[in-house]
Structure 1
Amino acid sequence: MEPVATFSLVAQDPRTGDLGVAVASKFLAVGAVVPYARAGVGAVATQSYANTTYGPRALAILEAGGSPEAVLEAFRRTDRDLPLRQFGLVAMSGESLTFTGEACHPWAGGRAGPGFAAQGNLLTGPEVVEAMVETFLLKEDLPLPERLVEALLAGDRAGGDRRGRQSAALLVVGAGKGYGGFSDRYVDLRVDDHPDPVPELFRLLDLHRLLFSRPKEKRPLTPEEIRWLQEALRRAGYYGGEATGTWDEATEAALRAFLGVENLEERYAGGPELDEGTFLQLKARLG
Protein backbone atom coordinates (compact mmCIF):
# COMPACT_ATOMS: atom_id res chain seq x y z
CA MET A 1 0.00 0.00 0.00
CA GLU A 2 1.13 3.54 -0.74
CA PRO A 3 0.83 6.00 2.17
CA VAL A 4 -1.38 9.01 1.56
CA ALA A 5 0.65 11.50 3.60
CA THR A 6 -1.45 14.59 4.03
CA PHE A 7 -2.85 17.28 6.25
CA SER A 8 -6.56 17.98 6.32
CA LEU A 9 -9.30 19.88 8.06
CA VAL A 10 -12.87 18.60 8.38
CA ALA A 11 -15.48 21.09 9.55
CA GLN A 12 -19.12 22.07 9.96
CA ASP A 13 -20.58 25.57 9.75
CA PRO A 14 -23.21 25.90 12.51
CA ARG A 15 -24.76 28.93 10.77
CA THR A 16 -25.55 27.18 7.49
CA GLY A 17 -25.24 23.48 8.31
CA ASP A 18 -22.70 23.09 5.51
CA LEU A 19 -19.99 20.44 5.91
CA GLY A 20 -16.62 20.23 4.24
CA VAL A 21 -13.09 18.89 3.93
CA ALA A 22 -9.93 20.67 2.80
CA VAL A 23 -6.80 18.60 2.18
CA ALA A 24 -3.28 18.95 0.78
CA SER A 25 -0.42 16.49 0.23
CA LYS A 26 2.70 15.47 -1.61
CA PHE A 27 0.55 12.90 -3.36
CA LEU A 28 -1.01 12.86 -6.81
CA ALA A 29 -4.73 13.78 -6.84
CA VAL A 30 -5.27 13.60 -3.08
CA GLY A 31 -8.87 14.74 -3.59
CA ALA A 32 -9.67 11.39 -5.18
CA VAL A 33 -8.78 9.54 -1.96
CA VAL A 34 -9.28 11.58 1.21
CA PRO A 35 -12.51 13.68 1.39
CA TYR A 36 -16.07 12.45 1.90
CA ALA A 37 -19.14 14.44 2.95
CA ARG A 38 -22.92 14.12 2.96
CA ALA A 39 -25.27 17.02 3.62
CA GLY A 40 -27.14 16.74 6.89
CA VAL A 41 -24.93 13.86 8.02
CA GLY A 42 -21.22 14.61 8.33
CA ALA A 43 -17.80 14.88 6.71
CA VAL A 44 -14.75 12.60 6.82
CA ALA A 45 -11.08 12.70 5.83
CA THR A 46 -9.34 9.31 5.60
CA GLN A 47 -5.55 9.28 5.18
CA SER A 48 -2.23 7.53 5.97
CA TYR A 49 -2.37 4.24 4.05
CA ALA A 50 -5.92 5.40 3.48
CA ASN A 51 -8.76 2.95 3.80
CA THR A 52 -11.21 4.42 1.32
CA THR A 53 -14.10 2.48 2.84
CA TYR A 54 -13.83 4.70 5.92
CA GLY A 55 -15.67 7.61 4.31
CA PRO A 56 -18.82 5.77 3.23
CA ARG A 57 -18.86 3.59 6.36
CA ALA A 58 -18.46 6.52 8.73
CA LEU A 59 -21.21 8.47 6.99
CA ALA A 60 -23.53 5.46 7.15
CA ILE A 61 -22.95 5.10 10.91
CA LEU A 62 -23.54 8.82 11.49
CA GLU A 63 -26.68 8.80 9.34
CA ALA A 64 -28.04 5.90 11.41
CA GLY A 65 -27.60 7.96 14.57
CA GLY A 66 -24.18 6.73 15.65
CA SER A 67 -21.58 8.98 17.25
CA PRO A 68 -18.01 9.69 16.10
CA GLU A 69 -16.83 7.33 18.87
CA ALA A 70 -19.10 4.62 17.46
CA VAL A 71 -17.38 5.09 14.10
CA LEU A 72 -13.96 4.59 15.69
CA GLU A 73 -15.14 1.48 17.54
CA ALA A 74 -16.50 0.02 14.30
CA PHE A 75 -13.13 0.54 12.63
CA ARG A 76 -11.33 -1.05 15.60
CA ARG A 77 -13.45 -4.18 15.19
CA THR A 78 -13.05 -4.52 11.45
CA ASP A 79 -9.67 -3.13 10.37
CA ARG A 80 -6.56 -4.91 11.59
CA ASP A 81 -4.44 -2.17 10.00
CA LEU A 82 -6.02 0.58 12.09
CA PRO A 83 -2.60 1.47 13.63
CA LEU A 84 -1.52 2.62 10.14
CA ARG A 85 -4.59 4.79 9.60
CA GLN A 86 -5.47 8.37 10.32
CA PHE A 87 -8.86 9.99 9.95
CA GLY A 88 -10.92 12.92 11.12
CA LEU A 89 -14.66 13.38 11.10
CA VAL A 90 -17.35 15.86 12.07
CA ALA A 91 -21.01 15.00 12.51
CA MET A 92 -23.87 17.31 11.63
CA SER A 93 -24.31 17.93 15.36
CA GLY A 94 -20.79 19.38 15.53
CA GLU A 95 -19.42 16.36 17.40
CA SER A 96 -15.94 15.59 16.12
CA LEU A 97 -13.09 13.12 16.39
CA THR A 98 -9.55 12.80 15.08
CA PHE A 99 -7.63 9.53 15.21
CA THR A 100 -3.96 8.83 14.53
CA GLY A 101 -2.71 5.24 14.63
CA GLU A 102 0.54 4.58 16.46
CA ALA A 103 2.19 3.27 13.27
CA CYS A 104 1.60 6.46 11.22
CA HIS A 105 4.76 8.11 9.88
CA PRO A 106 5.96 10.99 12.08
CA TRP A 107 5.21 13.72 12.62
CA ALA A 108 1.61 12.58 12.90
CA GLY A 109 -1.25 13.79 15.05
CA GLY A 110 -4.42 15.81 15.21
CA ARG A 111 -6.67 18.11 17.17
CA ALA A 112 -10.47 18.17 17.36
CA GLY A 113 -13.02 20.52 18.85
CA PRO A 114 -16.65 21.54 18.36
CA GLY A 115 -17.29 21.55 14.63
CA PHE A 116 -13.77 20.70 13.44
CA ALA A 117 -11.11 17.98 13.23
CA ALA A 118 -7.57 18.70 11.98
CA GLN A 119 -4.95 16.02 11.34
CA GLY A 120 -1.84 15.17 9.39
CA ASN A 121 0.99 12.70 8.99
CA LEU A 122 4.48 12.89 7.52
CA LEU A 123 4.41 16.57 8.51
CA THR A 124 7.20 18.94 9.43
CA GLY A 125 5.74 19.05 12.96
CA PRO A 126 2.69 19.79 15.15
CA GLU A 127 2.80 23.44 14.10
CA VAL A 128 1.03 22.46 10.86
CA VAL A 129 -2.07 21.23 12.68
CA GLU A 130 -1.97 24.09 15.17
CA ALA A 131 -1.78 26.66 12.36
CA MET A 132 -4.81 25.13 10.65
CA VAL A 133 -6.86 25.14 13.84
CA GLU A 134 -5.88 28.66 14.91
CA THR A 135 -6.69 30.09 11.49
CA PHE A 136 -9.97 28.22 11.25
CA LEU A 137 -11.09 29.53 14.63
CA LEU A 138 -10.01 33.10 13.82
CA LYS A 139 -11.73 33.22 10.42
CA GLU A 140 -15.25 32.44 11.63
CA ASP A 141 -16.68 35.39 9.68
CA LEU A 142 -15.82 33.74 6.34
CA PRO A 143 -18.04 31.33 4.41
CA LEU A 144 -17.05 27.72 5.07
CA PRO A 145 -15.24 27.09 1.72
CA GLU A 146 -13.00 30.15 2.13
CA ARG A 147 -12.49 29.41 5.82
CA LEU A 148 -11.31 25.89 5.06
CA VAL A 149 -8.86 26.98 2.38
CA GLU A 150 -7.50 29.80 4.56
CA ALA A 151 -6.81 27.22 7.27
CA LEU A 152 -5.24 24.83 4.77
CA LEU A 153 -2.97 27.59 3.50
CA ALA A 154 -1.89 28.39 7.07
CA GLY A 155 -0.93 24.74 7.59
CA ASP A 156 0.88 24.68 4.28
CA ARG A 157 2.90 27.80 5.08
CA ALA A 158 3.69 26.46 8.56
CA GLY A 159 5.51 23.53 6.96
CA GLY A 160 2.94 21.16 5.53
CA ASP A 161 3.97 17.77 4.20
CA ARG A 162 7.69 17.37 4.92
CA ARG A 163 8.22 15.77 1.48
CA GLY A 164 6.97 18.83 -0.40
CA ARG A 165 3.80 19.89 -2.24
CA GLN A 166 1.78 18.35 -5.06
CA SER A 167 -2.02 18.36 -4.71
CA ALA A 168 -4.93 19.86 -2.79
CA ALA A 169 -8.70 19.58 -2.76
CA LEU A 170 -11.84 21.13 -1.31
CA LEU A 171 -15.22 19.41 -0.88
CA VAL A 172 -18.20 21.27 0.64
CA VAL A 173 -21.82 20.10 0.77
CA GLY A 174 -25.07 21.80 1.70
CA ALA A 175 -28.67 20.75 1.21
CA GLY A 176 -29.82 21.62 -2.33
CA LYS A 177 -26.79 23.84 -2.99
CA GLY A 178 -25.31 21.84 -5.86
CA TYR A 179 -25.46 22.83 -9.53
CA GLY A 180 -29.04 23.55 -10.54
CA GLY A 181 -30.22 22.56 -7.08
CA PHE A 182 -30.04 18.88 -8.06
CA SER A 183 -27.37 17.79 -5.58
CA ASP A 184 -25.80 18.78 -2.28
CA ARG A 185 -22.18 18.96 -3.49
CA TYR A 186 -21.71 22.65 -4.22
CA VAL A 187 -17.91 22.97 -4.08
CA ASP A 188 -15.79 20.08 -5.36
CA LEU A 189 -12.42 21.41 -6.50
CA ARG A 190 -9.16 19.54 -7.06
CA VAL A 191 -5.62 20.56 -7.87
CA ASP A 192 -4.12 17.23 -8.82
CA ASP A 193 -0.49 18.06 -9.69
CA HIS A 194 0.93 21.53 -9.05
CA PRO A 195 4.13 22.97 -7.49
CA ASP A 196 2.08 25.18 -5.12
CA PRO A 197 -1.39 23.60 -4.99
CA VAL A 198 -3.06 25.47 -2.12
CA PRO A 199 -2.86 28.96 -3.66
CA GLU A 200 -4.06 27.35 -6.90
CA LEU A 201 -7.02 25.96 -4.95
CA PHE A 202 -7.79 29.53 -3.85
CA ARG A 203 -7.77 30.65 -7.49
CA LEU A 204 -10.19 27.88 -8.44
CA LEU A 205 -12.48 28.76 -5.54
CA ASP A 206 -12.60 32.40 -6.70
CA LEU A 207 -13.46 31.23 -10.21
CA HIS A 208 -16.08 28.87 -8.80
CA ARG A 209 -17.70 31.75 -6.91
CA LEU A 210 -17.81 33.80 -10.09
CA LEU A 211 -19.40 31.12 -12.22
CA PHE A 212 -21.65 29.18 -9.86
CA SER A 213 -22.76 31.45 -7.03
CA ARG A 214 -26.42 32.45 -6.80
CA PRO A 215 -26.35 36.08 -5.69
CA LYS A 216 -29.23 37.19 -3.48
CA GLU A 217 -28.78 40.94 -3.85
CA LYS A 218 -30.05 42.06 -7.26
CA ARG A 219 -31.31 45.30 -8.73
CA PRO A 220 -33.60 46.22 -11.64
CA LEU A 221 -31.88 47.20 -14.87
CA THR A 222 -32.53 50.73 -16.03
CA PRO A 223 -33.97 51.37 -19.52
CA GLU A 224 -30.51 52.63 -20.57
CA GLU A 225 -28.88 49.42 -19.35
CA ILE A 226 -31.50 47.28 -21.09
CA ARG A 227 -30.90 49.20 -24.31
CA TRP A 228 -27.14 48.67 -24.01
CA LEU A 229 -27.68 44.98 -23.30
CA GLN A 230 -29.95 44.56 -26.34
CA GLU A 231 -27.42 46.29 -28.57
CA ALA A 232 -24.54 44.23 -27.20
CA LEU A 233 -26.44 40.95 -27.52
CA ARG A 234 -27.42 41.86 -31.08
CA ARG A 235 -23.77 42.53 -31.98
CA ALA A 236 -22.87 39.16 -30.48
CA GLY A 237 -25.53 37.40 -32.56
CA TYR A 238 -27.93 36.50 -29.73
CA TYR A 239 -30.67 39.10 -30.21
CA GLY A 240 -32.51 40.03 -33.39
CA GLY A 241 -34.84 42.74 -32.16
CA GLU A 242 -34.60 46.48 -31.75
CA ALA A 243 -32.74 48.12 -28.89
CA THR A 244 -35.84 49.66 -27.31
CA GLY A 245 -34.78 49.75 -23.66
CA THR A 246 -37.90 47.74 -22.81
CA TRP A 247 -37.59 44.23 -21.40
CA ASP A 248 -39.32 41.45 -23.34
CA GLU A 249 -39.20 37.68 -23.85
CA ALA A 250 -36.76 37.96 -26.75
CA THR A 251 -34.31 39.94 -24.61
CA GLU A 252 -34.54 37.43 -21.79
CA ALA A 253 -34.07 34.47 -24.16
CA ALA A 254 -31.01 36.14 -25.68
CA LEU A 255 -29.54 36.87 -22.26
CA ARG A 256 -30.12 33.29 -21.08
CA ALA A 257 -28.42 31.93 -24.20
CA PHE A 258 -25.40 34.17 -23.75
CA LEU A 259 -25.06 33.39 -20.05
CA GLY A 260 -25.28 29.67 -20.81
CA VAL A 261 -22.45 29.86 -23.33
CA GLU A 262 -20.36 31.86 -20.82
CA ASN A 263 -21.09 29.39 -17.95
CA LEU A 264 -22.81 32.10 -15.91
CA GLU A 265 -26.32 30.61 -15.97
CA GLU A 266 -26.39 29.85 -12.24
CA ARG A 267 -26.20 33.58 -11.50
CA TYR A 268 -29.45 34.44 -13.32
CA ALA A 269 -32.98 33.69 -12.14
CA GLY A 270 -34.91 35.50 -14.88
CA GLY A 271 -36.42 38.91 -15.50
CA PRO A 272 -34.82 42.36 -15.82
CA GLU A 273 -32.84 42.02 -12.57
CA LEU A 274 -29.16 41.24 -12.16
CA ASP A 275 -26.60 41.33 -9.38
CA GLU A 276 -23.80 43.82 -9.85
CA GLY A 277 -21.17 41.12 -10.36
CA THR A 278 -23.05 39.53 -13.24
CA PHE A 279 -23.68 42.90 -14.87
CA LEU A 280 -19.97 43.69 -14.68
CA GLN A 281 -19.19 40.34 -16.28
CA LEU A 282 -21.62 41.12 -19.11
CA LYS A 283 -19.91 44.45 -19.73
CA ALA A 284 -16.50 42.80 -19.70
CA ARG A 285 -17.45 39.96 -22.01
CA LEU A 286 -19.77 41.83 -24.39
CA GLY A 287 -17.57 44.90 -24.67
Structure 2
Amino acid sequence: MTFSIIGYDPTTGDLGVAVASKFLAVGSVVSWAQAGAGAIATQSYANISFGPDGLALLAQGTSAQATLDQLLAADEGREQRQVGVVDAQGNAATWTGNACHSWAGGRTGAGYAAQGNILTGADVVEAMATTFEQTQGELAERLLAALLAGDLAGGDQRGRQSAALYVARKGGAYGGVLDRYIDLRVDDHHNPVPELQRLLQLHRFYLTPPKPEDLLPIDQAIALEIQTMLQQVGYYQGELSGVYDAATHSALQAYGGVENLEERLVSETHIDQQVLNYLRQHFVR
Protein backbone atom coordinates (compact mmCIF):
# COMPACT_ATOMS: atom_id res chain seq x y z
CA MET A 1 0.00 0.00 0.00
CA THR A 2 3.10 2.15 -0.24
CA PHE A 3 6.07 3.22 -2.34
CA SER A 4 9.42 4.12 -0.84
CA ILE A 5 13.09 4.65 -1.54
CA ILE A 6 15.96 4.34 0.90
CA GLY A 7 19.45 5.61 0.23
CA TYR A 8 23.02 6.23 1.33
CA ASP A 9 25.38 9.11 0.53
CA PRO A 10 29.05 8.06 0.68
CA THR A 11 30.22 11.70 0.85
CA THR A 12 28.27 12.72 3.95
CA GLY A 13 27.39 9.31 5.39
CA ASP A 14 23.69 10.28 5.31
CA LEU A 15 21.19 7.43 5.42
CA GLY A 16 17.51 7.98 4.78
CA VAL A 17 14.02 6.98 3.70
CA ALA A 18 11.36 8.74 1.60
CA VAL A 19 7.90 7.20 1.48
CA ALA A 20 4.34 7.95 0.33
CA SER A 21 1.06 6.07 0.65
CA LYS A 22 -2.72 6.11 0.81
CA PHE A 23 -2.29 5.51 4.54
CA LEU A 24 -2.47 7.82 7.53
CA ALA A 25 0.93 8.98 8.85
CA VAL A 26 2.93 6.48 6.80
CA GLY A 27 6.23 7.83 8.12
CA SER A 28 5.40 6.62 11.62
CA VAL A 29 5.39 3.03 10.34
CA VAL A 30 7.76 2.65 7.40
CA SER A 31 10.82 4.83 8.01
CA TRP A 32 13.85 3.77 10.06
CA ALA A 33 17.43 5.07 9.86
CA GLN A 34 20.48 5.32 12.10
CA ALA A 35 23.74 7.11 11.37
CA GLY A 36 26.64 4.73 10.94
CA ALA A 37 24.29 1.73 10.72
CA GLY A 38 21.78 1.86 7.86
CA ALA A 39 18.22 2.57 6.75
CA ILE A 40 15.13 0.38 6.49
CA ALA A 41 11.69 0.71 4.92
CA THR A 42 9.18 -1.83 6.22
CA GLN A 43 5.79 -1.89 4.47
CA SER A 44 2.92 -4.06 3.18
CA TYR A 45 1.23 -5.32 6.35
CA ALA A 46 4.35 -3.85 7.88
CA ASN A 47 6.22 -5.74 10.54
CA ILE A 48 7.35 -2.67 12.48
CA SER A 49 9.82 -4.71 14.51
CA PHE A 50 11.92 -4.94 11.34
CA GLY A 51 12.88 -1.30 12.02
CA PRO A 52 14.62 -1.51 15.40
CA ASP A 53 15.68 -5.14 14.98
CA GLY A 54 17.17 -4.46 11.57
CA LEU A 55 19.00 -1.34 12.70
CA ALA A 56 20.49 -3.30 15.59
CA LEU A 57 21.85 -5.87 13.15
CA LEU A 58 23.18 -3.19 10.81
CA ALA A 59 24.87 -1.39 13.72
CA GLN A 60 26.75 -4.62 14.43
CA GLY A 61 28.15 -4.57 10.90
CA THR A 62 25.71 -7.07 9.38
CA SER A 63 25.31 -6.40 5.66
CA ALA A 64 22.04 -5.23 4.08
CA GLN A 65 21.30 -8.61 2.51
CA ALA A 66 22.23 -10.61 5.62
CA THR A 67 20.10 -8.30 7.75
CA LEU A 68 17.14 -8.76 5.43
CA ASP A 69 17.62 -12.52 5.40
CA GLN A 70 17.63 -12.70 9.20
CA LEU A 71 14.54 -10.52 9.55
CA LEU A 72 12.56 -12.59 7.04
CA ALA A 73 13.69 -15.94 8.43
CA ALA A 74 12.15 -15.07 11.80
CA ASP A 75 8.83 -13.84 10.35
CA GLU A 76 6.08 -16.30 9.43
CA GLY A 77 4.26 -13.53 7.58
CA ARG A 78 7.21 -12.83 5.28
CA GLU A 79 5.24 -13.44 2.06
CA GLN A 80 3.00 -10.46 2.89
CA ARG A 81 5.92 -8.16 3.64
CA GLN A 82 7.88 -5.70 1.59
CA VAL A 83 11.20 -4.45 2.90
CA GLY A 84 14.14 -2.38 1.70
CA VAL A 85 17.51 -2.22 3.48
CA VAL A 86 20.65 -0.15 2.88
CA ASP A 87 23.74 -0.49 5.06
CA ALA A 88 26.43 2.07 5.93
CA GLN A 89 28.63 0.86 3.08
CA GLY A 90 25.91 1.52 0.50
CA ASN A 91 24.97 -2.12 -0.06
CA ALA A 92 21.25 -2.51 -0.75
CA ALA A 93 18.66 -5.28 -0.64
CA THR A 94 14.92 -5.42 -1.23
CA TRP A 95 12.21 -8.03 -0.70
CA THR A 96 8.67 -8.35 -2.02
CA GLY A 97 6.70 -11.31 -0.72
CA ASN A 98 4.52 -13.40 -3.05
CA ALA A 99 1.39 -12.35 -1.16
CA CYS A 100 1.91 -8.60 -1.64
CA HIS A 101 -0.88 -6.96 -3.62
CA SER A 102 -0.14 -6.19 -7.26
CA TRP A 103 1.56 -4.29 -8.66
CA ALA A 104 4.41 -4.96 -6.27
CA GLY A 105 8.16 -5.12 -6.69
CA GLY A 106 11.48 -3.44 -6.07
CA ARG A 107 14.83 -2.49 -7.54
CA THR A 108 18.26 -1.90 -6.05
CA GLY A 109 21.29 0.01 -7.24
CA ALA A 110 24.42 1.62 -5.87
CA GLY A 111 23.41 3.04 -2.51
CA TYR A 112 19.63 2.67 -2.81
CA ALA A 113 16.63 0.37 -2.77
CA ALA A 114 13.24 1.35 -4.24
CA GLN A 115 10.05 -0.67 -3.71
CA GLY A 116 6.29 -0.42 -3.69
CA ASN A 117 3.05 -2.36 -3.60
CA ILE A 118 -0.51 -1.70 -4.84
CA LEU A 119 1.10 0.60 -7.39
CA THR A 120 -0.25 1.70 -10.75
CA GLY A 121 2.60 -0.24 -12.37
CA ALA A 122 6.29 -1.10 -12.46
CA ASP A 123 7.09 2.33 -13.91
CA VAL A 124 6.62 3.85 -10.44
CA VAL A 125 9.63 2.00 -9.05
CA GLU A 126 11.60 2.50 -12.25
CA ALA A 127 10.95 6.25 -12.11
CA MET A 128 12.15 6.43 -8.51
CA ALA A 129 15.30 4.45 -9.21
CA THR A 130 16.25 6.32 -12.37
CA THR A 131 15.61 9.72 -10.80
CA PHE A 132 17.67 8.88 -7.73
CA GLU A 133 20.57 7.79 -9.93
CA GLN A 134 20.43 10.96 -12.03
CA THR A 135 19.83 13.58 -9.32
CA GLN A 136 22.68 15.55 -7.74
CA GLY A 137 22.85 17.16 -4.33
CA GLU A 138 22.29 16.02 -0.77
CA LEU A 139 20.60 12.72 -0.02
CA ALA A 140 17.41 14.40 1.20
CA GLU A 141 16.90 16.18 -2.12
CA ARG A 142 17.73 13.03 -4.11
CA LEU A 143 15.27 10.91 -2.12
CA LEU A 144 12.53 13.50 -2.45
CA ALA A 145 13.14 13.94 -6.18
CA ALA A 146 12.79 10.16 -6.56
CA LEU A 147 9.58 10.14 -4.52
CA LEU A 148 8.13 12.95 -6.64
CA ALA A 149 8.99 10.98 -9.78
CA GLY A 150 7.23 7.92 -8.42
CA ASP A 151 4.21 10.00 -7.51
CA LEU A 152 4.05 11.52 -11.00
CA ALA A 153 4.38 8.05 -12.53
CA GLY A 154 1.18 6.99 -10.76
CA GLY A 155 2.18 6.06 -7.23
CA ASP A 156 -0.28 4.20 -5.03
CA GLN A 157 -3.19 3.08 -7.21
CA ARG A 158 -5.66 3.80 -4.38
CA GLY A 159 -4.75 7.48 -4.18
CA ARG A 160 -2.73 9.81 -1.95
CA GLN A 161 -2.77 10.61 1.76
CA SER A 162 0.61 10.89 3.46
CA ALA A 163 4.35 11.15 2.85
CA ALA A 164 7.51 11.37 4.92
CA LEU A 165 11.24 12.04 4.66
CA TYR A 166 13.73 10.88 7.29
CA VAL A 167 17.50 11.34 7.04
CA ALA A 168 20.02 10.38 9.72
CA ARG A 169 23.41 12.10 10.01
CA LYS A 170 25.82 11.82 12.92
CA GLY A 171 25.34 14.96 15.01
CA GLY A 172 22.95 16.31 12.40
CA ALA A 173 19.97 17.01 14.66
CA TYR A 174 19.10 20.48 15.92
CA GLY A 175 21.70 21.33 18.53
CA GLY A 176 24.14 18.74 17.18
CA VAL A 177 23.34 16.06 19.77
CA LEU A 178 21.49 13.29 17.92
CA ASP A 179 21.45 11.95 14.35
CA ARG A 180 17.89 13.01 13.42
CA TYR A 181 19.02 15.36 10.66
CA ILE A 182 15.75 15.66 8.73
CA ASP A 183 12.42 14.31 9.99
CA LEU A 184 9.47 15.69 8.01
CA ARG A 185 5.99 14.20 7.77
CA VAL A 186 2.80 15.05 5.94
CA ASP A 187 0.35 12.81 7.78
CA ASP A 188 -2.94 13.61 6.01
CA HIS A 189 -3.05 15.74 2.86
CA HIS A 190 -4.71 15.64 -0.56
CA ASN A 191 -1.33 16.02 -2.30
CA PRO A 192 1.29 14.97 0.25
CA VAL A 193 4.47 14.60 -1.81
CA PRO A 194 4.56 18.19 -3.16
CA GLU A 195 3.66 19.34 0.35
CA LEU A 196 6.64 17.38 1.67
CA GLN A 197 8.82 19.20 -0.86
CA ARG A 198 7.56 22.54 0.50
CA LEU A 199 8.43 21.46 4.04
CA LEU A 200 11.95 20.47 3.01
CA GLN A 201 12.45 23.91 1.51
CA LEU A 202 11.37 25.46 4.83
CA HIS A 203 13.67 23.10 6.70
CA ARG A 204 16.59 24.20 4.55
CA PHE A 205 15.83 27.83 5.35
CA TYR A 206 15.24 27.55 9.08
CA LEU A 207 17.42 24.63 10.11
CA THR A 208 20.28 24.35 7.62
CA PRO A 209 23.22 26.72 8.28
CA PRO A 210 24.27 28.86 5.30
CA LYS A 211 27.27 28.03 3.17
CA PRO A 212 30.22 30.46 3.39
CA GLU A 213 29.61 31.60 -0.18
CA ASP A 214 26.05 32.65 0.76
CA LEU A 215 27.26 35.20 3.32
CA LEU A 216 27.43 38.87 2.32
CA PRO A 217 29.71 41.40 4.06
CA ILE A 218 27.57 43.94 5.89
CA ASP A 219 28.54 47.21 4.25
CA GLN A 220 27.09 50.62 5.02
CA ALA A 221 24.10 50.19 2.71
CA ILE A 222 23.12 46.79 4.13
CA ALA A 223 23.67 47.99 7.71
CA LEU A 224 21.34 50.92 7.08
CA GLU A 225 18.74 48.57 5.62
CA ILE A 226 18.92 46.32 8.67
CA GLN A 227 18.63 49.26 11.06
CA THR A 228 15.68 50.73 9.17
CA MET A 229 13.77 47.46 8.98
CA LEU A 230 14.35 46.47 12.59
CA GLN A 231 13.46 49.92 13.80
CA GLN A 232 9.96 49.43 12.37
CA VAL A 233 9.26 46.62 14.82
CA GLY A 234 11.07 48.03 17.82
CA TYR A 235 14.15 45.82 17.85
CA TYR A 236 16.51 48.69 17.03
CA GLN A 237 16.23 52.06 18.79
CA GLY A 238 19.54 53.62 17.80
CA GLU A 239 20.56 56.09 15.12
CA LEU A 240 20.17 55.14 11.46
CA SER A 241 23.91 55.43 10.97
CA GLY A 242 24.70 52.70 8.48
CA VAL A 243 27.28 51.36 10.91
CA TYR A 244 26.89 47.70 11.85
CA ASP A 245 27.74 48.16 15.50
CA ALA A 246 27.04 46.06 18.59
CA ALA A 247 23.54 47.53 19.03
CA THR A 248 22.57 46.67 15.45
CA HIS A 249 24.00 43.17 15.76
CA SER A 250 22.16 42.63 19.04
CA ALA A 251 18.88 43.80 17.48
CA LEU A 252 19.29 41.41 14.56
CA GLN A 253 20.04 38.53 16.90
CA ALA A 254 16.99 39.33 19.02
CA TYR A 255 14.76 39.47 15.95
CA GLY A 256 16.27 36.24 14.63
CA GLY A 257 15.59 34.47 17.90
CA VAL A 258 11.90 35.32 17.67
CA GLU A 259 11.67 34.35 13.99
CA ASN A 260 13.72 31.12 14.44
CA LEU A 261 16.55 32.36 12.24
CA GLU A 262 19.34 31.56 14.70
CA GLU A 263 20.77 28.74 12.55
CA ARG A 264 21.43 31.32 9.80
CA LEU A 265 22.74 34.16 11.94
CA VAL A 266 26.26 32.77 12.18
CA SER A 267 28.49 35.84 11.72
CA GLU A 268 29.15 39.19 13.38
CA THR A 269 30.35 40.77 10.14
CA HIS A 270 28.30 39.04 7.41
CA ILE A 271 24.64 38.27 6.75
CA ASP A 272 23.12 35.31 4.95
CA GLN A 273 21.60 36.31 1.62
CA GLN A 274 18.40 34.38 2.41
CA VAL A 275 18.01 36.16 5.74
CA LEU A 276 18.44 39.52 4.03
CA ASN A 277 15.82 38.54 1.45
CA TYR A 278 13.51 37.43 4.28
CA LEU A 279 13.87 40.83 5.95
CA ARG A 280 13.23 42.64 2.69
CA GLN A 281 10.07 40.63 2.07
CA HIS A 282 8.70 41.33 5.54
CA PHE A 283 9.48 45.04 5.91
CA VAL A 284 9.17 48.28 3.98
CA ARG A 285 12.65 49.62 3.39
Q: Does 1:238 align with 2:235?
A: yes
Residue 161 of structure 1 deviates from its aligned partner by: 0.8
Q: Does 1:150 align with 2:138?
A: no
Q: Does 1:269 align with 2:255?
A: no
Cα deviations across residues 104-162 of structure 1 (Å, max 9, x unaligned)? Answer: 111111011220000011111211111110111111x2322121111111111112111
Q: What is the TM-score with the length of structure 2 in the denominator?
A: 0.94
Structure 1 contact 252–270 (Cα < 8 Å) conserved: no
- Give the superposed CA RMSD: 1.4
Partners of 2:72 and 2:7 in 1: how far apart? 23
Cross-structure match for 1:112? 108
Partners of 1:24 and 1:127 in 2: how far apart? 16
Partners of 2:231 and 2:178 in 1: how far apart? 35
SS in structure 1 of the partner of residue 175 of structure 2? helix
Q: Which of 151, 156, 159 is the equivalent residue of 1:161? A: 156
Structure 1 contact 179–266 (Cα < 8 Å) conserved: no
Residue 270 of structure 1 deviates from its aligned partner by: 3.1
Partners of 2:240 and 2:170 in 1: how far apart? 41
Where structure 2 has 5 or more consecutive residues not aligned to the other structure, the ranges are: none
Cross-structure match for 1:281? 278
Letter in 1 for 2:79: P
Q: Does 1:99 align with 2:92?
A: no
For 1:14-33, what aligned pairs fall within 5 Å after superposition? 14-33=10-29
Identity of aligned residues (%): 55
Letter in 2 for 1:260: G
Letter in 2 for 1:11: G
Cross-structure match for 1:42? 38
Cα deviations across residues 240-281 of structure 1 (Å, max 9, x unaligned)? Answer: 222332233322221111112112211111302112111111
Partners of 1:247 and 1:222 in 2: how far apart? 8
Residue 65 of structure 1 deviates from its aligned partner by: 1.0
Q: Which of 7, 13, 18 is the equivalent residue of 1:11? A: 7
Structure 1 contact 96–112 (Cα < 8 Å) conserved: yes
Residue 22 of structure 1 deviates from its aligned partner by: 0.6
Letter in 2 for 1:251: T
Q: What is the TM-score with the length of structure 1 in the denominator?
A: 0.94
Structure 1 contact 219–275 (Cα < 8 Å) conserved: yes
Structure 1 contact 214–267 (Cα < 8 Å) conserved: yes
Partners of 1:198 and 1:103 in 2: how far apart? 27
Where structure 1 has 5 or more consecutive residues not aligned to the other structure, the ranges are: none
Count residues with an aligned counterpart.
282
For 1:33-72, what aligned pairs fall within 5 Å after superposition? 33-72=29-68
